[in-house]
Amino acid sequence: MPPVLYLASQSPRRLQLLAQLGLSPQTLLPGPQEDAEALEAERPGEPPEVYVRRVTLAKLEAACARRQCRGLPEAPVLCADTTVALGDRILGKPADAADALRTLRLLSGQTHEVFTAVALQAGGQARLALSRSSVDFAAVPEEVLHAYVASGEPFGKAGAYAIQSSLAGWIPTIRGSYSGIMGLPLYETTQLLRDAGVLP
């Protein structure tokens, strides 16, 4: 029996959020021969919103090709990408501890934006939706930043932090979608899945 949905993401947060919708997708992850990181390469002067749309559609295309190449049954394919931006500057996943600390220092005491694009391929049609939120950070003490980096939490996360982590204690206000900041905006995702007949 084919799966109801494929999720082209290894993020446990996205699986957790889809579980809130009553879904248990089959993950469709890149193989060792795929350079998944190359899809996230930035282009000079590319605005964050344009970047996140492009990367998400590229991930969707790669995931659909992956499903076909592996001979897996047809089913809708879902993927998403989250980008943190301070003005026009994209703050991606930190390369190392020094990069994570540098990113967090930039965010401390500032308001930044979080863009999460979600894309769905179903019935031969690709659909994309975008969630845009803003996050206010209070000034975070240096010792807190160092401890946060030492915890390992920043790695693999855009902007070097997770909204559901201890750093939330330094975020007085968000405007937009909490689930979108986590990595999968549930409202937009639900609309895409309803349009495709995955959800009632």
Question: What does the alpha-carbon distance between residue 176 and residue 184 come to, in Å, rounded to a whole number?
Answer: 12
Amino acid at 49: E
Lookup: tokens for 152: 């390992």
Amino acid at 40: E
- Residue pair 94/103 in contact by the 8 Å Cβ criterion: yes
Question: What does the alpha-carbon distance between residue 117 and residue 50 come to, in Å, rounded to a whole number?
Answer: 10
Question: What does the alpha-carbon distance between residue 187 and residue 179 come to, in Å, rounded to a whole number?
Answer: 9
Lookup: tokens for 76: 């809708």
Q: Please enumerate in sequence order all residues whose Cβ is within 8 A of that of 85, keeping only pairs 6 or more positions apart, or say none.
A: 48, 91, 112, 113, 114, 115
Q: Tell me if residue 88 is catalytic.
A: no
DSSP H helical ranges for the chain: 12-20, 48-69, 97-107, 142-150, 178-182, 186-195
Active site (catalytic) residues? 81
